[in-house]
Amino acid sequence: MKVLVINGPNLSRLDIRDSSIYGDLSYPALVEFVTQAATDLGFEADVRQSDQESEIIGWLHQAADSKTPVIINPAAFTHYSYAIRDAAELVKAPLIEVHLSNPLAREEFRHTSVISGIATGTIGGFGPDSYALALKALATLLKK
Ligand code: DQA
């Protein structure tokens, strides 16, 4: 089973982001971690990153058309992109929102997620394990 893992803006630069918030893994190391966690659960992960709203929307359209489950870290788009929310809503397979940090424990502007309302569920605050937990939740969901 394929799973599309979408990462939003600035996640490709984890190497220079605040490691006290985002941890020590570089983006390539995060991709490796997620790919391995997916393989361990029998998934084939297609892990992508974009800084562009329109590219992410195109990927969500593809997932909607191919009925592919999605794990998405929309990064800053989480807090204001109604366009990504509307595209994510088209995905009828499970769609899980993940965050490395816990946005609810951070600045007030991060307390709003315009994605959570259409997501199957949201996992945040566990670093890279947020993705592994999302994959586990997905595996359980798809067995039902
Ligand atoms: C993030 C949290 C967002 O608020 C932030 O804009 C990000 C990363 C996270 O994974 O913790 O870029 O989505």
Ligand 1 neighbourhood includes 76 CB (under 6 angstroms)? yes
For residue 144, the model assigns a pLDDT of 87
Q: Is the dihedral of CA 15, 19, 55, 41 positive or negative?
A: positive
Helical spans, DSSP H, in the chain: 19-22, 27-40, 53-66, 82-88, 129-143
Residue 137 has what pLDDT? 98
In this structure, the residue with its CA closest to atom 2 of ligand 1 is: 75
Helix (H) or strand (E) holding 99, with range, is strand 95-99
CB 23 near ligand 1, within 6 Å: no
What does the pLDDT read at residue 65?
Answer: 98
Q: Ligand 1: does its nearest atom lie under 6 Å from the Cβ of 17?
A: no
- 100 closest CA partner among 21, 18, 6, 15: 21
111 annotated active-site: no
Which atom of ligand 1 is closest in space to residue 22's alpha carbon?
Answer: 11
Structural domains of the chain in order of their starting residue, each with its CATH number: 2-143 (3.40.50.9100)
Measuring CA to CA, how many Å separate 26 from each of 15, 94, 100, 138?
5, 27, 12, 25
CA 144 – ligand 1 centroid, Å:
30
pTM to 2 decimals? Answer: 0.98
User: Per-block average pLDDT, block size 10, for the chain (144 residues)?
Assistant: 98 96 97 98 98 98 98 98 98 98 98 98 98 98 94
How close is the Cα of 42 to the center of ligand 1, in Å?
27
52: left (phi over 0), alpha (psi -120 to 50) or beta: beta
Total Cβ atoms within 10 A of residue 143:
6
